[in-house]
Amino acid sequence: MKPQLSGKWALVTGASSGIGEEFANQLAARKMNLILTARREDRLQQLAEKLQKQHGTKTVVLPADLVKPEELNRLVDEVRSLTDPVTLVVNNAGFGEISTIENSDLQKLIDIVQVNISVVTRLTYEFLPEMISRNDGGVINVSSVTAFQPVPYMGVYSASKAYVLHLSEALWAELYETDVRIMALCPGTTRTEFFDKAGVTSWLSKNFAHTPSQVVRKALLFYERSHPFCIPGIKNWLVAWITKFVRRRRVVLEAKKVFHNLATGEEKD
């Protein structure tokens, strides 16, 4: 049965740009009310005003830097203080780094684990029990096509996204007999700020990329059909499943060739 979203509330993390912002746009078009969180309060306020004007959406802006556990705790407390329950959680906040071992920023790698794994786990398990008790609601966890294979020079990122995929699939099976949904979204290259933050701005200009609109449209379609995961685009689907037909050793060594120049700085401009 197709979930009823109109008039209900969604929490969207990383909502100030990219895929998170587009989730806010498309959920507002479905008449959902939104709790928007990210670090950049000014961007969130601008988005909230736009959605209220275009769709009459009720919005709550809760800026937070989810790298900091105390701000995650504050976010949860503020969401719980609201009158209406959260019906959909979109765990979109996340980031990565492409670098060699010796040039890696250790603190940044730890922060990746915090946001990509700890935050996703906390927000998923924080709100799912109430959804189960109501037999209504769901979670969309933004993973990545890199979740399907190890990626040299971005090992922590790809491992974190594998965690998100496996967690989401496991919970999907647990919830199979209910009306509560959970899905992992596994996009490939998408035109977002991710590549600027990862220090590889040239990647978008040299590779095919989906738009956030395309990714979110496919994600919501798959979510409505209660799929455990969504891989937008046939090329990304083929990349994800190649490990079933090729030795993993071969796959990871081929991936190393692709990302070597990015990690060593030869393609970062």
Catalytic residue numbers, as ranges: 157
64 in helix, strand or coil? Answer: coil
Task: Report the side by side order of strands in the sheet with 137-142.
Answer: 59-61, 33-37, 9-13, 86-91, 137-142, 180-185, 229-230
Half-sphere exposure of 224 (CA within 13 A, CB side): 11
60 in helix, strand or coil? Answer: strand
Looking at the DSSP bridge assignments, the partners of residue 210 are 190
Distance CA 48, CA 163 (A): 31
Q: Can you give the three-state secondary structure of 208-264, one letter per residue?
A: CCECHHHHHHHHHHHHHCCCCEECCCHHHHHHHHHHHCCCHHHHHHHHHHHHHHHHH
DSSP-derived letter for residue 151 is: -
What tokens appear for 93 in the block?
């906040």
113 in helix, strand or coil? Answer: helix
Distance of CA 173 to the CA centre of its chain: 20
